[in-house]
């Protein structure tokens, strides 16, 4: 994600914010290795994180980043021969769960690690509330500590709200604030500089969230603490880190000082080759094509009634700030969220009432939805790759009442190969795959069904820079064959690469349409943030319209 060159654009870190000299590395890893049943996830990684440094950890899906983080969290035991120092002191491995606190580390994992049934307050103050030797809880003091922590981050949340009622964005922000709080209280007690590890914390964050997070990261590092920042977003990494280490196939492919490195050099280190940027094939798409779907007056919790028409073979992007309504449309059309009103007419057929739409009906009519919240709503972690791929249409593998396992396996293998799923073992559980590889399985599943209208919510979240290009190419090829795609995303770069048309939403309405050559990353970002001006009046050429063709 990057947001153009305008005011508030993500800016490169100043030289003054680099690491503190004279102090031992806050974390030193030597030859850290991990094998899972013979498969090498980490092949001997050595890495120093300096005090006060923001260190980017990058690498393709499955390169070993999360495995390394999980070793530090005491979740995985590394192989013998691995060694670790914290603040210059040797630390015995494996770590036990919870040891990281004693060592001055805190984490935000991809699944955020919040307890959904507890309140914001309870989640935020979990470490403090459960710390040993605490005889009683001063709830008044806890409430004010929680409010203060949220205020520092500019996060407006009801501290008594249950976490499962929060939006995904607010959950991510809360998890990040909690990690910073944990380290801050750790700092007070121990005098250590401390280390926060952020494992892909930003995909759900709106731009203001990213800016706030970066502001906090800078202030923490300015006070001497270190941050390890894992992300697939190269622009973010270039903006916030002092140094980057790139993992490839479980080994360190290289380390770079960020201010001396170019974007392309980092990409090359990640993928191991130069990445050819494919130009969007928009020219052929100006041709008038038959209408695939007419969505009229769709209305949802954050979406005022709005209408959208999409042509056959068109890739339509939806974007805006989180909460502007763009992120709801796909779910309302698919019946995953109940619409308050509206109709959907497919290929000239009789319109269907959206409030009566259900996912089953939508699938029967040739729709498919890839939800953004893949941890909770997309795949089933405890099932195999094969089951996850064919969950929605297992019927087609029945031959005279029996399931044709061989055909399923062959098709799953071919699909995994096409989408570069690694490891490509159809009977492996989805939970054994890295986050990005799991996302590839889920994209493959829906693409394979050849829906007439594919609804995507943040489809390449957590997917590495090389695979992203393959997914874009697959989407373009499917669109050239007539599949229509609606892609909701906060990633302007992604939309600029694949879309024929982009609709920008603000306050529940469509406020701007960009077509063909108008679609650039900067134009999308500009139109998105123009809607913030004064939060009231929009510029004259961006007045809300209910109808856009």
Q: Which is nearer to ligand ATP, 162 or 251 (CB)?
A: 251
Q: Measured from the CB of residue 272, what is the shortest distance to ligand ATP in angstroms?
A: 14
- What does the alpha-carbon distance between residue 363 and residue 517 come to, in Å, rounded to a whole number? 33
Handedness of CA 419, 425, 430, 431 (dihedral sign): negative
Residue from 19, 67, 245, 461 touching ligand ATP (CB under 6 A): that is 67
Please check whether residue 150 is in contact with residue 157, taking contact to mean a CB–CB distance below 8 angstroms.
Answer: yes
Residue from 19, 66, 119, 494 touching ligand ATP (CB under 6 A): that is 66
In this structure, the strands spanning 453-457 and 367-370 are parallel
- What does the alpha-carbon distance between residue 529 and residue 420 come to, in Å, rounded to a whole number? 36
Residue 433 is a binding residue for ligand ATP (CB under 6 A): yes
Q: Measured from the CB of residue 438, what is the shortest distance to ligand ATP in angstroms?
A: 8
Going by C-alpha positions, the residue among 274, 213, 268 that lies closest to residue 244 is 268
- Size of the chain in residues: 549
Residue 139 is a binding residue for ligand ATP (CB under 6 A): no
Binding residues for ligand ATP, rule CB under 6 A, total 21
- What does the alpha-carbon distance between residue 282 and residue 513 come to, in Å, rounded to a whole number? 16
For 207, how many CA atoms within 13 A lie in the half-sphere containing its CB? 24
Strand ordering across the sheet containing 27-36? 39-49, 27-36, 83-86, 89-91
Residue from 64, 78, 186, 366 touching ligand ATP (CB under 6 A): that is 64
Residue 460 is a binding residue for ligand ATP (CB under 6 A): no
Q: Measured from the CB of residue 494, what is the shortest distance to ligand ATP in angstroms?
A: 16
Where does this chain touch ligand ATP (CB under 6 A) — which range of 25-33, 60-68, 134-142, 174-182?
A: 60-68
Write down the H helix ranges in 19-167. Answer: 65-72, 99-102, 120-124, 126-129, 139-152
Structure-token match 């003054």, residue found: 16
CA 548 to the chain's CA centroid: 29
Residue 36 is a binding residue for ligand ATP (CB under 6 A): yes
Residue from 2, 61, 123, 245 touching ligand ATP (CB under 6 A): that is 61
Residue 467 is a binding residue for ligand ATP (CB under 6 A): no
Q: Measured from the CB of residue 249, what is the shortest distance to ligand ATP in angstroms?
A: 9
Q: Which is nearer to ligand ATP, 291 or 432 (CB)?
A: 432
Where does this chain touch ligand ATP (CB under 6 A) — which range of 57-65, 164-172, 322-330, 398-406?
A: 57-65
Residue from 52, 59, 335, 451 touching ligand ATP (CB under 6 A): that is 59
Which chain residues interact with ligand ATP by CB under 6 A?
36, 39, 41, 59, 61-67, 422-423, 432-437, 462, 464
């Amino acid at each position: 994600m990057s947001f153009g060159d305008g005011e508030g654009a993500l800016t490169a870190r100043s030289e003054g914010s680099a690491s503190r000299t004279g102090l031992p590395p806050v974390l030193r890893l030597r030859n850290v290795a991990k094998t899972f049943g013979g498969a090498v996830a980490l092949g001997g990684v050595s890495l120093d994180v300096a005090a006060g440094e923001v260190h980017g950890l990058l690498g393709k899906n499955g390169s070993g980043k999360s495995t390394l983080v999980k070793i530090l969290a005491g979740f995985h035991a590394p192989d013998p021969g691995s060694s670790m120092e914290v603040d210059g002191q040797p630390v015995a491995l494996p770590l036990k769960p919870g040891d990281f606190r004693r060592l001055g580390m805190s984490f935000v994992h991809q699944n955020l690690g919040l307890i959904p049934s507890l309140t914001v307050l309870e989640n935020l103050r979990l470490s403090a509330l459960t710390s040993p030797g605490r005889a009683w809880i001063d709830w008044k003091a806890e409430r004010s500590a929680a409010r203060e922590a949220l205020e520092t981050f500019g996060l407006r949340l009801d501290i008594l709200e249950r976490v499962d009622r929060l939006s995904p964005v607010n959950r991510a922000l809360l998890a990040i604030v909690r990690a910073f709080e944990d380290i801050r209280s750790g700092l007070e007690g121990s005098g250590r500089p401390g280390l926060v590890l952020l494992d892909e914390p930003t995909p759900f964050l709106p731009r203001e969230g990213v800016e706030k997070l970066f502001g906090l990261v800078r202030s923490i590092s300015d006070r001497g603490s270190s941050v390890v920042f894992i992300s697939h977003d190269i622009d973010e990494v270039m903006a916030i880190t002092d140094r980057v280490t790139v993992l490839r196939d479980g080994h360190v492919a290289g380390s770079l000082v960020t201010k001396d490195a170019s974007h392309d050099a980092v990409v090359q280190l990640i993928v191991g080759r130069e990445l050819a940027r494919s130009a969007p094939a928009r020219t052929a798409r100006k041709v008038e094509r038959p209408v695939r779907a007419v969505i009229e007056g769709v209305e949802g919790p954050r979406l005022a009634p709005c209408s959208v028409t999409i042509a056959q073979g068109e890739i339509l992007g939806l974007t805006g700030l989180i909460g502007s309504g763009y992120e709801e449309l796909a779910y309302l059309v698919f019946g995953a969220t109940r619409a308050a009103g509206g109709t959907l007419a497919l290929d000239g057929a009789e319109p269907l009432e959206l409030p009566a739409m259900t996912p089953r009906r939508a699938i029967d009519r040739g729709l498919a939805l890839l939800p953004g919240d893949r941890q909770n709503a997309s795949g089933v972690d405890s099932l195999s790759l094969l089951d996850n791929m064919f969950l929605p249409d297992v019927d087609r593998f029945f031959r005279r009442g029996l399931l044709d396992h061989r055909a399923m396996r062959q098709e799953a293998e071919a699909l995994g190969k096409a989408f570069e799923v690694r490891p490509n073992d159809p009977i492996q559980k989805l939970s054994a795959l890295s986050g990005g590889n799991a996302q590839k399985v889920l994209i493959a599943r829906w693409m394979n069904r050849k829906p007439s209208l594919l609804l995507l919510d943040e489809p390449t979240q957590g997917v590495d820079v090389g695979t992203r290009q393959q997914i874009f190419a697959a989407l373009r090829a499917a669109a050239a064959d007539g599949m229509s795609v609606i892609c909701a995303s906060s990633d302007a770069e992604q939309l600029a690469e694949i879309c024929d048309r982009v609709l920008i939403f603000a306050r529940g309405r469509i406020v701007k349409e960009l077509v063909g050559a108008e679609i650039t990353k900067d134009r999308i970002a500009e139109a998105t943030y123009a809607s913030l001006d004064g939060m009231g009046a929009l510029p004259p050429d961006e007045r809300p319209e209910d109808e856009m063709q």
